[in-house]
């Protein structure tokens, strides 16, 4: 599955959607002007607009009548009406976009969801968090916040957000009560694919566009309500004869606006549903690719079909975001036509991932639910093994595949606790601390401690002094907590230390903005304590900036601007040269060969290896930032080139790995997807 091609397709669908929306706006403007002209004429039939009587001069031709009506209105009134309609749409869309700019948590909270705390003691919630973390690590993206819709008995889930950094995963209580681990894994993998495929941002744009059209009908409804109230007031005071025509005309105008907005909403829903259905098939196939287990998502879909509540979501605001969910949120009998279905039929989705499906839906079992809950307790985070992928067979291949049994290797997970309840390893101990909001800041400080004893003493003094008189203290004594983590951290390899940092990010996001600013400054002090920044420190701070700074609103994602790889060749030259020099000690000719292989893998020509003095930290960091402004289809090419250069001697050093992962984070390009 090419996630970057899928993102490009999502962008093209966005352009198509905007084109359709533009056409809809033009039609709304024309029809609204007709309504205004008709209202002016209707409110005073003896008055001919600009000396023209459009009804008398049309000769029974409806198109001629419309043309005459618009002409009679005059350009001044036409311009003001047009500006009013466009202004209402623009203001409504801007308001909606601003309300969504904080990311997916806005949607989750609007649906009545509550965040699942990273240190939750509930077995179901711990299992959910573990599954989300596993797939996030496998996908090479930050662990998103998880929300639970406790009042929803239906089986459903959703992903929402404007970028990878502000994404959230939400699940209903019915989802937790019904699914075992494999089925839950399939559903969460499906939602993650929406994040990687660019569907999430597309869906949020759909929300904004449809809200703009909705405001037209809401404006009409408001006019009708106001005029009906005024009409009753006029009649009560005996002024109905003098003002009845104006009131009736205003009511008719409001009715027309309401009808126009409703028709616009109707077509908007059709567009939304058509886009959503196609992206669901892609997400199902991607879920199989993530988990290497087609039965997981297939059985989840089958259980939805067999459940009493199915995938219904009862919250009153759910229909506005129906296209975000894993399955349709209403009862099938409420959908009179497939034009309005945001999701393909369950039967079709199941057969695409399980060609040998019997056609019978599974019935949820309370005994199975209880067993699945018990099996969820005490599980630890584990990344997916291997990089093999199962790709959904095409329509033509499904008949051939239907004769073969679907083979998959289930993912096995080690329990985090031994029988006496003690953590089995230092890694498991630190994973537990990474989930604790009160421990995560101390863990980040401990990870940033230097190898030299003198520097460590200086850093511990910085930690201790940072807490004196500070109102931002979290948990117990920070310096003691940091000191307690030094020994278990020493037992971890570099990959495990990096995983610990990534798993700490959701807990760091639970801080207040003031607390985050305080600890961010502390982390920077620890990094600069020895007067230099090593590669691991650079990577950690890039992860912090990319994921936490955006979450707390300290930075905003920038729009891509580089479509042509030639325009960023000089930037790539700096980054690739730096990667090459962080390899094993070798001859200049070997460096040149590694640089050449990196250029060939990325299809970049016309650049040469820079001297090491020309690709130092400041210039390198600026180049990485600017590479992040490339369009998504270019980013995996660039990262593959960096990987090719690092692998040219068959050994990827830790520094090279850190640099490439940092580059991937800054570029918003999931590293796991590139490796596969």
Catalytic residue numbers? 191
Q: Which two tokens stand for residue 337?
A: 């036509």
CA angle (214 as vertex; 213, 217 as ends), nearest 5: 105
Q: Quick check: 344 and 327 in contact, CB under 8 A?
A: no
Distance CA 537, CA 518 (A): 18
Q: Which helix (H) or strand (E) holds 149?
A: strand 145-149
Distance from C-alpha of 58 to C-alpha of 255, rounded to nearest angstrom: 24
For residue 635, give the nearest of 558, 573, 562, 581 by alpha carbon: 562
Q: Alpha carbon of 32 to those of 75, 79, 81: distances in Å?
A: 14, 12, 8
**Which value, to the nearest 10 degrees, does the dihedral of the CA atoms of residues 340, 345, 346, 349 take?**
-110
Dmax over CA atoms of the chain, in Å, equals: 101
- Quote the CA–CA distance of 290 and 363 in Å, as a whole number: 26
> Locate tokens 């850190």: which residue?
658
SS3 category, 354: coil
Strand partners, 157: 171
Q: What SS3 state is found at 73?
A: helix
Q: Which of 468, 488, 486, 475 is nearest to 440 (CA)?
A: 475
Pick from 508, 295, 271, 269: nearest CA to 390: 295
Strands 145-149 and 168-172: parallel
Let me know: does 153 contact 173? Beta carbons within 8 Å: yes
Give residues with Cβ within 8 angstroms of 438, minimum separation 6: 474, 475, 476
- The token duo for 218 is 């809401």
The single-letter DSSP state of residue 325 is: B
- 3-state DSSP percent of the chain in helix, strand and coil, to 5: 65, 5, 30
Bridge partners (DSSP) of residue 324 are: none
379 forms bridges with which residues in the sheet? 415
How far apart, in Å, are the Cα atoms of 227 and each of 79, 223, 254, 449?
A: 25, 6, 9, 70
Query: Are the C-beta atoms of residues 53 and 38 closer than 8 Å to each other?
Result: no
Helix (H, G, I), strand (E, B) or coil at 590: helix
């Amino acid at each position: 599955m090419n996630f970057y091609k899928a993102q490009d397709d999502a962008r093209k669908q966005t352009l198509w959607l905007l084109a359709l929306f533009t056409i809809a706006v033009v039609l709304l403007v024309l029809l609204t002007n007709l309504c205004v002209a008709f209202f002016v004429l209707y409110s005073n039939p003896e008055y001919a607009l600009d000396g023209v009587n459009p009804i008398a001069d049309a000769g029974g031709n409806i198109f001629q009548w419309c043309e005459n009506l618009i002409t009679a209105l005059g350009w001044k009134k036409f311009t003001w009406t047009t500006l009013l309609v466009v202004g209402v749409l623009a203001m409504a869309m801007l308001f909606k976009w601003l309300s969504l700019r904080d990311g997916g948590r806005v949607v989750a909270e609007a649906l009545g969801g509550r965040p699942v705390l990273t240190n939750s003691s509930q077995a179901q919630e711990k299992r959910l968090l573990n599954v989300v973390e596993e797939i996030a690590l496998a996908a090479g993206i930050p662990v998103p916040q998880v929300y639970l819709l406790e009042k929803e008995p239906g089986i459903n889930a959703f992903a929402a957000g404007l970028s990878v950094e502000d994404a959230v995963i939400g699940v209903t209580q019915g989802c937790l009560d019904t699914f075992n681990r494999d089925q839950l894994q399939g559903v969460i993998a499906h939602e993650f694919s929406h994040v990687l495929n660019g569907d999430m941002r597309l869906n949020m744009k759909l929300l904004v566009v449809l809200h703009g059209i909705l405001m037209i009908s809401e404006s009409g409804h408001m006019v009708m309500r106001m005029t009906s109230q005024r009409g009753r007031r006029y009649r009560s005071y005996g002024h109905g004869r003098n003002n009845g025509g104006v009131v009736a005309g205003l009511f008719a105008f409001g009715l027309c606006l309401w009808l126009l907005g409703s028709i616009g909403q109707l077509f908007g829903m059709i567009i939304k549903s058509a886009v959503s259905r196609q992206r669901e098939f892609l997400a199902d196939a991607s879920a199989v690719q993530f988990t290497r287990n087609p039965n997981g998502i297939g059985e989840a879909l089958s259980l939805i079909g067999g459940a009493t509540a199915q995938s219904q979501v009862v919250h009153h605001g759910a229909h506005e975001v129906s296209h975000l969910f894993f399955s349709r949120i209403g009862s099938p009998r409420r959908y009179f036509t497939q034009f309005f279905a945001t999701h393909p039929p369950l039967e079709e989705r199941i057969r695409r991932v399980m060609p040998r499906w019997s056609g019978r839906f599974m019935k949820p079992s309370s005994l199975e639910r209880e067993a699945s809950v018990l099996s969820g307790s005490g599980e630890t985070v584990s990344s997916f093994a291997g990089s093999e992928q199962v790709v959904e067979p095409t329509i033509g291949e499904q008949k051939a595949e239907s004769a073969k049994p679907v083979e998959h290797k289930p993912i096995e997970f080690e329990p985090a606790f031994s029988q006496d309840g003690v953590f089995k390893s230092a890694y498991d101990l630190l994973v537990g601390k990474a989930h604790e909001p009160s421990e995560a800041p101390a863990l980040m400080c401990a990870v940033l401690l230097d190898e030299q004893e003198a520097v460590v003493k200086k850093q511990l003094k910085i930690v201790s002094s940072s807490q004196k008189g500070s109102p931002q203290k979290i948990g117990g004594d920070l310096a003691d907590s940091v000191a307690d983590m030094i020994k278990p951290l020493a037992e971890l390899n570099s990959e495990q230390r990096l995983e610990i940092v990534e798993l700490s990010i959701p807990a760091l996001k639970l801080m207040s903005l003031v607390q985050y600013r305080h600890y961010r400054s502390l982390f920077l002090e620890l990094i600069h304590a020895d007067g230099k920044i090593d590669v691991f420190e650079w990577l950690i701070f890039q992860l912090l900036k990319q994921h936490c700074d955006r979450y707390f609103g300290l930075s905003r994602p920038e729009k891509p601007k580089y479509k042509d790889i030639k325009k960023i060749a000089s930037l790539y030259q700096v980054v690739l040269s730096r990667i090459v020099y962080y390899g094993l000690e070798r001859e200049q000719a070997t460096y040149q060969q590694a640089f050449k292989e990196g250029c060939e893998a990325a299809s970049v020509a016309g650049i040469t290896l820079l001297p090491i003095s020309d690709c130092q930290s400041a210039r390198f960091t600026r180049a990485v930032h600017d590479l992040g402004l490339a369009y998504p289809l270019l980013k995996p090419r660039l990262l593959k080139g960096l990987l090719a250069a690092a692998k040219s001697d068959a050994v990827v050093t830790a520094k090279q790995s850190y640099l490439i992962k940092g580059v991937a984070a800054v570029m918003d390009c999931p590293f796991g997807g590139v490796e596969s």
